[in-house]
Amino acid sequence: MTTVVVLADPPVPECVPDLLPDGFDADQNAALYRAMLADVCATIQHGEGEILINYRDPETVPDGVDPENSVRDLLDEELADPGAVRYEVQVGSDDAGKIGNALTHLLDTEELPTVAFARPTALFLRREHIGTTAMQLRTSDVVIGPSTNGRVSFAAFGQQIDFTDVFAPPAVETLTERARSADLDVSFLPETPLWERPEDRKTALSLLRARVRAGVLVPDRTAELVAEWGLSAVESDTVSDNSANSED
């Protein structure tokens, strides 16, 4: 079973990244992040991966926000087996450092055979990807899940690499170069979009609504919000007054 590290912000308005353009309020932005985080973690668990939530250092969040329990409360409610989730505080100054520290600890100190990380906004990660990764790691040292604009939504490792500044753009090239520099074999998953900033919205929504219409591979919680808010890739950047039928 591969342990998958997820860097999770407290899913509250004060802490989540900006995902939606002007016209949406902070509560809606937090609701979207909560839905995607829960969808990603449910997918990992459904794919028989072990989830390790790396939550923010309490000193980096506003007063009154509990970075561990805010994530734990969400996943306790949403996951089939919340008791199987591990929680550890993030260590590092940036995403590369935090992910690198977590994965290095798992590989070196805990001596796990394979580890991975997933972005909390990688809503198109599927259980099939987790299974495919496990098979690819039998013959490859590193498996990369590329995303749009040269980013990386998911990656798995059977060997350690140098994670310093590993997400320098384009991250997919940087990560591949680090692996090859260590003489490691690399394989790839299919490209899937992230929704981690407002400009990702149209690409992600187009694929999400297409999947809803086809009735396949749908991140359920995120899809429910999209339907409730009446979002589409071609509408204005405001919430519709009427909830759209997701199959229209």
Asked: is 3-198 a CATH 3.30.1360.30 domain? The reply is: no
Q: What is the dihedral of CA 240, 242, 244, 248, to 10 degrees?
A: -110
Grade residue 100 by pLDDT with cuts at 50, 70 and 90.
Answer: very high
pLDDT of residue 81: 97
DSSP string, 173-221: HHHHHHHHHTT--EEEPPP-----SGGGHHHHHHHHHHHHHHT-S--HH
Mean pLDDT of 237-247: 41
Q: Which amino acid is at 226?
A: V
Using pLDDT thresholds of 50, 70 and 90, give the confidence band for residue 240: very low
Q: How high is the pLDDT of residue 243?
A: 40
User: 61 pLDDT band (50/70/90 cuts)?
Assistant: very high
Which H/E stretch holds residue 89? strand 86-89
pLDDT of res. 216: 85
Element spanning 226, H or E: helix 220-229
pLDDT band at residue 247 under the 50/70/90 scheme: very low
Q: What percentage of the chain exceeds 90 in pLDDT?
A: 88
Q: What is the pLDDT of residues 112-171, one digit of tens each?
A: 999 999 999 999 999 999 999 999 999 999 999 999 999 999 999 999 999 999 999 999
Residue closest to 193 by CA, chosen among 236, 222, 235: 222
Q: Where are the domains of the chain?
A: 3-198
Averaged pLDDT, 96-104: 97
Cβ of 170: how many Cβ atoms within 10 Å? 14
Evaluate if residue 86 carries a pLDDT over 50.
yes
| Six-digit token string for 4 | 């998958």
